[in-house]
Amino acid sequence: MRTVKQACVLQEKALDIHVSDQVEQLDQLINNEGTGDAFFERTFVTEGMRILLSEGIARLAGKSNDSVFHLKQAMGGGKTHLLVAFGLLARDRDLRNRVIPDVRYINVFESARVAAFNGRNSPKEYFWGLIARQLGKAELFKRFWESGPEAPGEEDWLQLFSDDLPVLILLDEMPPYFNEYITKPIGQGTVADIVTRAFANLLTAASKKRNVCIVVSDLAAAYSAGSSLINRALEDARREIGRLERAIVPVDLSSNEVYEILRKRLFRSLPDDAEIRQVAQRFRDILQEGVDARLLQPGADAIADEVPDTYPFHPRFKNIVALFKENEDFRQTRGLLELSSRLLRSVWNRPSDDVYLIGPQHFDLSDRDVRESLQNISGMSDVISRDIWDQAGSAHAQQIDATAGSDDAAQVASLLLVASLSTAVEAVKGLTEGELLECLATPGRDLGRFKEAFRKLAEQAWYLHHTTEGRYYFDRQENLTRMLQNIARDAPQPQVDALLRGRIKELFEPKRKAAYGALLVFPTMDELAAEVGKDRVLAVMNPADSTIDRIRAFFNDLDRKNNLLVLTGQSSDLVRLDEAARNLYAARKGAERPGLNNAQREELEEKRAAYEQGLTTTILNLLDRLLVPRQRKDQPASLDELHVKWQSDQSKPFSGESDIERILTVPPAKLYFDVEKGFDTVRELAEDVLWPQGMVEARWQDIVVRYESEPRMVWLPKRGLDDLKQIACNRGLWEDLRNGYISKQPRKKKTSVAVVPSEPDDAGKVRLRVTATDAGPAPRVHYAEDATVSTASNVLPGDELETTALRVEFLAVDPSGEHETGEPYVWKHPLKIQNLLDEAGLKRRVTLIVLPRSDEIRYTLDASDPRNGVLYEGPVEIPDTEVSMRVFARAGNNERSVDFRFPQRGSAGTSVEPEQPARVRAKKGNVSLSSRKDVYDALQLASQRGFTFSDVVLTVSAASPHGQQIARATLNGIDCNAAYLEGILGALQSEAFGPDASVVMQFQGAAFARGQDLLEFAELAGINLSSVDVQQP
């Protein structure tokens, strides 16, 4: 298969085309002496040209209503060339028959009169005088310029067109002309106002002559003010004639017309179709190989279908050119011809003849003309010299290629550079990796090597950026790589060290504090000694400063040896650690820089994450030794050295604390996470190690010190030693002697009694559930009502007693004699004060009731202490306004005070002050929440608001094949918060109960920090506040 250099023949000077060589002035049309054949030999008839010629010839023949054609394209976009073509064909019927024989109406007229004006000229007679002169009627318009500018009216233009000959008026590059006169005042306006009127009158006049055609070219991007005046005139004409002008784009640079123009201008001959199809098939095979290797997306081989239409250029060439074709300084068609000429020169002068389809990757930036052409489009000279090509060979792409022995990086960089030339605001620039590789795929080259070169260039280049969509492009602003390199290089060492310490602290921060409670990073020995005296410490020691032998010597001199855990390593190479810390420092500081766009911030975040992971990896690779205190039988205490293999689950955040806990729980375990699960082993070890030898009792504080000092002792989670004590005491294996000492051989307990009262009935009678403890298998309980109990007192026949007594004493006796008889238990009957409000008469009255009885009742209505209040002798009259009544009652030695609040007569419900604390108590029985949802909704609100319940009964029940299953917990005399009650409910709902078990919660009282919390709770639980006593300050 032949290369393009072997298969194609170039036009003369195809390798040395300049923009200035291609510019056709309309003067060429006016003064043309030739036939026009030479012009059309180098002209490809584009779709835009064909439309203009077809519609324009029809207009000149009097067969079309379209009188005005507006050519819209940037400078160098083929407009002038199109005007020249139309002018030549309008004047010569024979030329029309040779060039466009298939266009209708070409023989209707012999020759049109043609007037042409270029807006870069400023004739003294203005554009209207010049047109009149070219049409041979200068005298007719002389009065419109001799005494100063005056706009010809519509009738004047019609008079100029009064004969029946076709007239073609070509107006090229008009915006500069309008721009010039904007600054020249005349009368109350500017000359530009006159020019605009003259232009608008010309357009409307032309619409009224069937064979007058006007073609106007625009330069909107370069002369916005002038273009706006043209558009204003066009708009005036639209209103007048009721029709839009016909807009035409001379050359569509995003279509295959690009290739036809380049073929016509640059090549004398191309290979035949069969050879071109062979090239297309070879490229299809290459692209498919890339898809199979997963370097390209499926379907990439379809690009080869376009090769027959684009040969010898790559099908993607036009797409890349389209990215920058709107640049203000790019001359579109003319600029493309010059750029393509430089590209051909790069290919024809290439050392190796290996190009089968020409693409932007083949630009040779060592050629000065090539460099200047690309620099002139975008101004990216620094980009080229730093990242792509430099005389000294120091550019990043050159260095990558020098190492690899190829030009892969040069092709990657050249391709990305051309795709990055757009200077438009919000322009789409650059290529994705997939698009890049599609362009680079070619016979004889390894696509994987191009991919690797791209990866290295993306890492090293200073000016290569990428968007959030993954498009890579060059820009004159240095990229994050360069910025971060500078920040990392100049980072102050103390700040780098602080970052490193901070990162290690983040990695090993003690949260659960099971293995260690404190963390020190690179401490001095004095700092470490001080902290070990307070808590169990993980000391992260710098391997360069503290050898393992030095740490062992420190350990040997330490008192609280069991409080030390050391993480260190044996590597002394800290250069990589410092470099990794500097990279992360740079990424964090870079985020503070102003002016970063969204893509840069996204890239910076990616780099920060990568640097953070890199620093983490470096830290963990360096810190691979864990020194754990142990002491084996008949051996001195020592630090066991464990080789650490950190877990690397990328799906979860790294937790050094968790990894260390895992390591320490591997047998022989140093750490016991679950005290209750390992209770027997831990208790036996504690009794052996933590009590002085031969002693049963020990001071708890001494036990704690020995726990922190003895390496033989295992570690427990924070407060784990207290948990061990509590479990052992609860199981009767240890005893808290209540004097600061703990005994590991508990003494036998004396008998005792537990009493659970019910809610009193209307007569004040209470049912007491009595349970004897530590009283043997058949305990005997004596009791005395309002008297002193003894073994001679009555014996309780069962486990319940109904009583209205103010005081009942109980005494438990163990008939087996195993337990010594303890002290009597005294239960006092709590007084219950109730009120009855009578509003039936003219006066409101409150009746006070005390259960089970009272010796004295006093009250106040002025918020003073009720102990000194008015003696209650019968119903109390209260006013109709809101009233606060404070009540004191005494019966024997029992006393009680309560506050009642009575709302204003006629108001609904109980009055509650939202911002005042509130306590409620059921007036009768209990408040009941009788469904699982009600219970858990109430507990959730209690958790959020922090209120508590008292005298609670929790009941869980479920039906089973064997009958009703019930579990109940009674909590008297305890203020219970939500977490405590949820824990008990969780314990009650064992596996015997399914998820649909019924849950009921009853309580007699509740305490709220704010009355508003009470109101919300009452609404949630459906509680009528009139059923409870509400007390507020």
Cα dihedral sign for 73, 74, 80, 85? negative
Task: Give me the phi and psi of 644, to 5 degrees please.
Answer: -95, 130
- pLDDT band of 549, cuts 50, 70, 90: confident
Q: How confident is the model at residue 25, as a pLDDT?
A: 52
Using the CB atoms, write b or e for 221-239: b if 16+ within 10 Å.
bbbeebbebbeebbebbbe
Q: Is residue 291 part of a domain?
A: yes
Average pLDDT over residues 104-128: 91
The CATH code of the domain that includes 853 is 2.60.40.10
Q: Name the residue among 956, 939, 938 with its Cα closest to residue 1022.
A: 938
Q: How confident is the model at residue 28, as a pLDDT?
A: 57
Q: Name the residue among 367, 343, 69, 328 with its Cα closest to residue 220.
A: 328
Q: Residue 502 has which token pair? A: 């901070």
Q: Is residue 68 part of a domain?
A: yes
Please tell me whether residues 220 and 149 are part of one structural domain. Answer: yes
Q: How confident is the model at residue 329, as a pLDDT?
A: 53
Please tell me whether residues 522 and 472 are part of one structural domain. Answer: no
**How far is 637 from 634, CA to CA, in rounded Å?**
10
**How far is 458 from 439, CA to CA, in rounded Å?**
18
Segment of 169-178, 275-284, 761-770, 986-995 carrying the highest mean pLDDT: 275-284
Task: Give me the phi and psi of 107, to 5 degrees please.
Answer: -105, 5
Query: By CB neighbour count within 10 A (0-12 exposed, 13-18 middle, 19+ buried), where does 27 fall?
Result: exposed
Q: Name the residue among 1023, 970, 1024, 960 with its Cα closest to residue 992.
A: 960
Q: Is residue 23 part of a domain?
A: no
| Strand partners for 970 | 953
Please tell me whether residues 639 and 694 are part of one structural domain. Answer: no
**Residue 980's CB: how many other CB atoms inside 10 A?**
16
Give the CB-side neighbour count of residue 688, counting CA atoms within 13 A.
11
Given strand 780-785, what is the order of strands in its sheet? 794-795, 780-785, 807-813, 825-828
Q: What is the pLDDT of residues 30-86, one digit of tens each?
A: 455 467 787 887 787 888 888 999 999 999 999 999 999 988 754 334 677 888 889
Please tell me whether residues 460 and 536 are part of one structural domain. Answer: no
| Strand partners for 723 | none
**DSSP element (H, E) containing 58:** helix 47-60
Domain extent, residue 842, equals: 832-902
Cα dihedral sign for 774, 779, 783, 789? negative
417, 422, 428, 431: CA torsion to nearest 10:
-10
Please tell me whether residues 124 and 219 are part of one structural domain. Answer: yes
Q: Is residue 35 part of a domain?
A: no
- Residue that finishes a domain, picked among 603, 623, 654: 654
SS3 content of the chain, % helix, strand, coil (to 5): 40, 20, 40
Q: How confident is the model at residue 328, as a pLDDT?
A: 53
Contacts for 293-298: CB closer than 8 Å, 24+ residues apart: 293/447, 293/448, 295/437, 295/447, 295/448, 295/451, 296/434, 296/437, 296/438, 296/441, 296/447, 297/434
Please tell me whether residues 546 and 677 are part of one structural domain. Answer: no
Q: What is the pLDDT of residues 667-721, one digit of tens each?
A: 999 999 999 999 999 999 999 999 998 899 999 999 999 999 999 999 999 999 9
Please tell me whether residues 541 and 464 are part of one structural domain. Answer: no
The CATH code of the domain that includes 760 is 2.60.40
- pLDDT band of 19, cuts 50, 70, 90: very low
Total domains present in the chain: 7
Q: How confident is the model at residue 223, as a pLDDT?
A: 45
226, 230, 236, 239: CA torsion to nearest 10:
-140
Please tell me whether residues 165 and 203 are part of one structural domain. Answer: yes
Please tell me whether residues 63 and 149 are part of one structural domain. Answer: yes
Q: Which residues have a Cβ under 8 Å from the Cβ of 899 and sit 6 or more positions away?
A: 884, 885, 886, 887, 1031, 1032
Using the CB atoms, write b or e for 703-720: b if 16+ within 10 Å.
beebbbbbbbbbbbbbeb
- Residue that finishes a domain, picked among 197, 230, 248: 248
Please tell me whether residues 315 and 358 are part of one structural domain. Answer: yes
HEC readout, 834-895: EEEEECCCCCEEEEEEEECCCCEEEEECCCCCHHHCEECCCCEEECCCCEEEEEEEEECCEE
Better-scored residue on pLDDT, 253 or 493: 493
Residue 995, preceding bond cis, omega within 30 degrees? no
Please tell me whether residues 79 and 204 are part of one structural domain. Answer: yes
**How far is 84 from 250, CA to CA, in rounded Å?**
12
Q: How confident is the model at residue 222, as a pLDDT?
A: 43
The CATH code of the domain that includes 230 is 3.40.50.300
Please answer whether residues 450 and 437 qualify as being in contact, where contact means their C-beta atoms are separated by less than 8 angstroms.
yes
| Three-state DSSP state, 241 | helix
Q: How confident is the model at residue 687, as a pLDDT?
A: 94
**How far is 145 from 139, CA to CA, in rounded Å?**
11
Query: CA of 43: how far to CAs of 493, 538, 831, 840, in Å?
Result: 68, 82, 115, 112
| Three-state DSSP state, 1006 | strand
Q: Name the residue among 776, 902, 909, 912 with its Cα closest to residue 848.
A: 902
**How far is 904 from 892, CA to CA, in rounded Å?**
35
- Residue that finishes a domain, picked among 842, 875, 902: 902
**How far is 191 from 875, CA to CA, in rounded Å?**
106
What is the identity of the amino acid at 698? A
Query: CA of 136: how far to CAs of 60, 67, 130, 427, 451, in Å?
Result: 19, 22, 10, 48, 67
Check pLDDT > 70 for residue 220.
Answer: no
> Would you say the pTM of this structure is higher than 0.85?
no
Q: How confident is the model at residue 80, as a pLDDT?
A: 79
Q: Is residue 908 part of a domain?
A: no
The CATH code of the domain that includes 943 is 3.30.1490
Q: How confident is the model at residue 480, as a pLDDT?
A: 79
Strand 212-218 relative to strand 464-466: parallel, antiparallel, unpaired? unpaired
**Residue 296's CB: how many other CB atoms inside 10 A?**
23
What is the identity of the amino acid at 4? V
| Three-state DSSP state, 198 | helix
Check pLDDT > 80 for residue 221.
Answer: no
Q: Which residues have a Cβ under 8 Å from the Cβ of 575 and sit 6 or more positions away?
A: none
Please tell me whether residues 822 and 840 are part of one structural domain. Answer: no
Better-scored residue on pLDDT, 584 or 230: 584
Q: Is residue 459 part of a domain?
A: yes
Q: How confident is the model at residue 226, as a pLDDT?
A: 47
Q: What is the pLDDT of the chain when averaged over all its residues?
A: 87
Query: By CB neighbour count within 10 A (0-12 exposed, 13-18 middle, 19+ buried), where does 117 fall?
Result: buried
Q: How confident is the model at residue 780, as a pLDDT?
A: 95
Please answer whether residues 168 and 175 qualify as being in contact, where contact means their C-beta atoms are separated by less than 8 angstroms.
no
What is the identity of the amino acid at 359? G
Q: How confident is the model at residue 77, as a pLDDT?
A: 44
Of the chain, the percentage scoring pLDDT greater than 90 comes to 56
Q: How confident is the model at residue 23, as a pLDDT?
A: 41
Q: Is residue 659 part of a domain?
A: no
Mean pLDDT is lowest, of 175-179, 320-324, 619-623, for 320-324
**How far is 105 from 899, CA to CA, in rounded Å?**
110
**How far is 85 from 75, CA to CA, in rounded Å?**
17
Please answer whether residues 74 and 325 qualify as being in contact, where contact means their C-beta atoms are separated by less than 8 angstroms.
yes
**How far is 892 from 807, CA to CA, in rounded Å?**
9
Average pLDDT over residues 174-195: 85
Please answer whether residues 895 and 1028 qualify as being in contact, where contact means their C-beta atoms are separated by less than 8 angstroms.
no
Q: Is residue 19 part of a domain?
A: no
- pLDDT band of 242, cuts 50, 70, 90: very low
